[in-house]
Structure 1
Amino acid sequence: MGLQLLAIALGGAVGAILRFGVSNGVYQWLGRGFPWGTLAVNVIGSLAMGFLTAMLVERLNVAPEIRAAVMTGGLGAFTTFSTFSIETLSLIEQGDVLKAGVNMLVSVLVCVSVCWLGLLLGRQL
């Protein structure tokens, strides 16, 4: 477990730096009138999560420490939307479209709502 945690930490450091670089690069390119940088990392991260799940889990069956470093640490720090995406797709592939739809709806509505609540609470202090 210790080696896996170290792998996640190292992957997370790389993912966070990549997120910063990619999102800022996109903002410099397209401006800040729309959250293009966040959208870019979410789209790239979701594509990478799907591809890496197929390659590292289904095809190559790489060591858990490598998967943890790349997927949990790296993509987790790059964007947690990638995890949301692969879990939702897993529900769809298992034939549980209703759960997938509920997950999408609740995740967006609840997360945005509680973010707003946190913002309001923080502003009250």
Structure 2
Amino acid sequence: MARAATVLAGQGPAIAVVSLGGALGAASRHGLSLLLPHAGGFPWATLLVNVSGCLAIGALIVVLTEALTAPPLARPFLGTGFLGGYTTFSAYAGEAEGLLSGGSIMLGGTYLVLTLLAALAAAWAGTRAARLVLARSNDGQPR
């Protein structure tokens, strides 16, 4: 117990902003799932959330590490908190398992592969786009 207290000492603000960001991100994800519900079909809302979240994470990390002198709690709030709560790879796994175990092998397999490839591509695209925007704003030329 003393070890846990030692590890957590001074982490109150970070824990608070991650919690707040996570709650806001999860609420945003839930709102999107209400706009794009799926009833046994392809889980478009989860795919959109995970891909857009990965795009945002890629851009955010570039902006926070290469462009700004960000406040110390910006990355925990926005990255770990908001975007961590917004993206939902646990729902992705559960939905894929549900499709596969329900006999929709092609749909489930497509969902598994599409989400993985699209999320990785989106994270790369987010970093690349942010670097291009930053380069143009710095010297007018892309890098």
Q: Deviation per CA, 1:45-71, whole angstroms, max 9, x where unpaired?
A: 011001111112221131221110110
Identical aligned pairs, as a percentage?
Answer: 43
Structure 1: tracts of 5 or more residues without a match:
90-125
Of 50, 53, 74, the match for 1:45: 53
TM-score by length of 2: 0.52
Structure 2: tracts of 5 or more residues without a match:
1-10, 90-118, 125-143
CA contact (8 A) 1:45 1:75 kept: yes
- Relative to structure 1, the CA distance from residue 65 to residue 85 in structure 2 (aligned partners, 3 Å threshold; closer, same or farther) is farther
Aligned amino acid, residue 21 of structure 1: G
Q: Who is 1:58 aligned against? A: 66
CA contact (8 A) 1:23 1:40 kept: no
Q: 1:39 Cα deviation (Å)?
A: 0.2
- Relative to structure 1, the CA distance from residue 68 to residue 2 in structure 2 (aligned partners, 3 Å threshold; closer, same or farther) is same
Which structure has the larger Rg? 2
Greater per-residue helix proportion: 1
Aligned amino acid, residue 20 of structure 1: H
Aligned amino acid, residue 77 of structure 2: A
How many pairs are equivalent?
Answer: 83
CA contact (8 A) 1:26 1:40 kept: no
Matches within 5 A, 1:1-125: 1-27=11-37, 31-32=38-39, 33-79=41-87, 81=89, 85=120
